[in-house]
């Protein structure tokens, strides 16, 4: 049977949220580990893949007739840029489709950590209602309004997060040598700062940079030590940007007030991972999620529809691909 597209995610992912792949294209749905993936890839004109998952072996793309690799999200970390550029296989993503969902995640995590909501729930279950309430009142906990939120990276996601924080009264600062829209940032009252100054001034630091050689372990022990005592770190960018052992140490020591981590250097993290080995109050000051910061029904519908629209654009309409990354 001939077909046009190999899709490495289940058809149900699309249909359950109301997105219908193009009926005019023959599509083969497979799991990445299926035995016939290599053979099917040699026949397909387009490959559709999730943004999240293990890296794909560059050898998979040798001797194919692919006209498009379409990612159903923003990240293209799974793909080997050099080999695909060499073979002139266009790689496209869907930028911005999950910005709102990710901004909602970041602001929610900041509020949960600042107000100790998860910690409070745990203490009540431990029978400590009265004592923990007294502690929370005595500690004079702050909400987001009036706090300094520092954004490391001000692309489209960073701007969406800045806008969400501005709506709840945060003061904003950012570090980005090449901000996406400095004028929009100024309109939100955000001011540019050096990296070190931002770390030292912010009550909440949120990361929104891609994983590049220069951003690998961007936040390590030294950077965490520069952060204000009691500050919050939110890592929903890319795994590898934060030294996770150093983060665990900063939480265990009490230097950081809390952290939310959605992405990891290795996914899933090993059972012996430093963040999973934390004990005591450090556990209550840590939110761990499985790379779902940008995943909501609404965001997925947008991402999936735009991904299939681009496949149709290339294979049916014969037009150049939209949102080509490389």
Rounded CA-CA distance 219/193 in Å is 16
To the query of whether residue 245 is one of the catalytic residues in this protein, the response is no
Residues 64-71: contacts with CB within 8 Å, 24+ apart? 64/89, 66/41, 67/314, 67/315, 68/92, 68/310, 68/311, 68/314, 68/315, 68/321, 70/46, 70/307, 70/310, 70/311, 70/321, 71/307
Helix, strand or coil for residue 198? helix
Tell me which of 186, 267, 297, 324 is the catalytic residue: 267
The helix/strand/coil state of 228 is coil
Of the candidates 116, 175, 238, 285, the residue annotated as catalytic is: 238
CA 148 to chain centre: 22
Whether the CB-CB separation of 144 and 107 falls below 8 Å is answered with yes
Q: How would you class 229 by CB atoms within 10 Å of its CB: exposed for 0-12, middle for 13-18, buried for 19 or more?
A: exposed
Element (H, E) at 192: strand 191-192
Q: How many residues does the chain have?
A: 326
Q: Are strands 5-7 and 27-29 parallel, antiparallel or unpaired?
A: parallel
Residue 138: Cβ within 10 Å count: 8
The span from the CA of 183 to the CA of 167, in Å, is: 17
- Is residue 267 part of the annotated active site? The answer reads yes
> What are the backbone angles phi and psi of residue 29, rounded to the nearest 5°?
-100, 130
Whether 291 and 262 have beta carbons less than 8 Å apart is answered as yes
Q: Which entry of 45, 67, 285, 291 is annotated as an active-site residue?
A: 291
**Does the active-site annotation cover 183?**
no
Catalytic annotation, residues = 238, 267, 291
């Amino acid at each position: 049977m001939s077909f046009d597209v190999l899709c490495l995610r289940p058809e149900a992912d699309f249909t359950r949220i109301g997105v219908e792949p193009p009926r005019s294209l023959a599509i083969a749905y497979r799991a990445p580990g299926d035995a016939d993936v290599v053979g099917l890839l040699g026949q397909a004109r387009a490959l559709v893949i999730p943004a999240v998952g293990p890296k794909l072996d560059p050898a998979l793309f040798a001797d194919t007739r692919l006209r498009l690799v379409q990612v159903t999200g923003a990240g293209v970390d799974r793909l080997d840029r050099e080999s695909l550029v060499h073979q002139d296989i266009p790689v496209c993503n869907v930028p911005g489709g999950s910005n709102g969902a990710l901004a909602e995640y970041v602001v929610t995590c900041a509020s949960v950590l600042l107000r100790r909501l998860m910690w409070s729930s745990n203490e009540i279950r431990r029978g400590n209602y009265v004592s923990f309430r007294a502690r929370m009142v005595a500690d004079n906990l702050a909400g987001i309004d009036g706090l300094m939120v520092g954004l490391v990276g001000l692309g489209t996601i960073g701007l969406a997060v800045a806008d969400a924080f501005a709506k709840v009264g945060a003061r904003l600062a950012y570090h980005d040598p090449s901000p996406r829209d400095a004028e929009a940032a100024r309109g939100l009252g955000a001011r540019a700062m050096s990296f070190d100054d931002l770390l030292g001034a912010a009550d909440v630091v949120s990361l929104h940079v891609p994983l590049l050689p220069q951003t690998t372990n961007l936040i390590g022990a030294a950077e965490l030590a520069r952060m204000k005592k009691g500050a919050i770190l939110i890592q929903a960018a890319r795994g590898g940007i934060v030294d996770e052992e150093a983060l665990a140490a900063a939480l265990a020591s009490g230097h950081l007030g809390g952290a939310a981590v959605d992405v990891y250097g290795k996914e899933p993290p090993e059972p012996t991972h430093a963040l999973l080995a934390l004990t005591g109050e450090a556990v209550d000051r840590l939110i761990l999620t499985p790379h779902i910061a940008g995943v909501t029904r609404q965001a997925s519908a947008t991402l999936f529809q735009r991904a299939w629209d681009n496949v149709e654009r290339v294979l049916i309409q014969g037009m150049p691909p939209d949102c080509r990354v490389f």
